[in-house]
Amino acid sequence: MKNKKTTYILLVVVLFVWAMVIYQFFSFSGGSEPIVENHTTLNIKPIQAPKRDTFSINVNYRDPFLGKMYNPHNKKATRKQNTSNKPKETIVWPSVIYKGLVSDSDDKRKVFMVMIKGKTFFMREKDTEEEVKLLKGNREFIEVKYKGKKNKILIQE
C-alpha cells in the first residue's frame, strides 16, 4: 500500500512541474504589451592611465661562481654594414591576378590562368610573361617572381 501512496504523490508533483513549464512557455509567447525603448545618452570619459616608471638593471657586478667581474661581449666582432646613401629601388608590381588551374591537377605540367596588366595568359611553371615569372602553384595560390622579388598570389574568382 505504501508504494501506491508514493506513486500518487509523485504523479501530482510531476503534473505540477509540467503545468508550470507549460505556463512559463505560454506566458513568454504572448507579446501583447508594447515594447518601450529608452534612448539614453552615455557620457564616456577616457581613463587616464598612470605613466609607467621605467628602470634599468646594472649588471656590472662580480660573478658569484667565477669570482670575476662581468665582461660584456667583444665589441671587435660587431661590424658596421656598408650603408651607402643610394636610395633603395622600389619595385612597382604590375597587377597580377590568379584565376585558377586550367589543366587537371593530376598532370605533371599544370597550366594556370593568370591575368597580368589586364591580359590573360595561360602559363606553366617557369614560364615568363610581361617580366613576371611563374615559379610554382596549386589550386589555391601561385608564386611569381618580378625583378628578383617573389610574391604569393591567392586565387581570385
Residue bearing cell 518601450: 36
Can you tell me the mean pLDDT for 28-49? 72
Q: Is the pLDDT of residue 58 over 80?
A: no
Q: Is the pLDDT of residue 76 over 60?
A: no
Tell the burial category of 153 from Cβ atoms under 10 Å away from its Cβ (0-12, 13-18, 19+). middle
Nearest in space to 126 (alpha carbons), one of 141, 111, 116, 139: 111
Q: What are the chain's domains?
A: 96-154 (2.30.30.830)
Q: Is the pLDDT of residue 11 over 90?
A: yes
Q: Read off the pLDDT of residues 95-148 as tens digits, 9 standing for 90 and up.
A: 999 998 888 767 778 899 999 998 999 998 899 998 999 999 888 999 999 988
How much is the pLDDT for 122?
Answer: 92
How much is the pLDDT for 156?
Answer: 85
How much is the pLDDT for 25?
Answer: 85
Strands 119-123 and 128-129: unpaired
Q: Is the pLDDT of residue 78 over 60?
A: no
pLDDT bin (cut points 50, 70, 90) of residue 83 is low
Dig out the grid coordinates for 48 from the structure: 587616464
pTM of the prediction? 0.44
Which residues, including other chains, have CB under 8 Å from residue 135's CB and lie 6 or more apart? 125, 126, 142, 143, 144, 145, 150
The answer to whether the beta carbons of residues 156 and 114 sit under 8 Å apart is no
Q: Is the pLDDT of residue 5 over 70?
A: yes
How much is the pLDDT for 64?
Answer: 80
Q: Is the pLDDT of residue 22 over 60?
A: yes
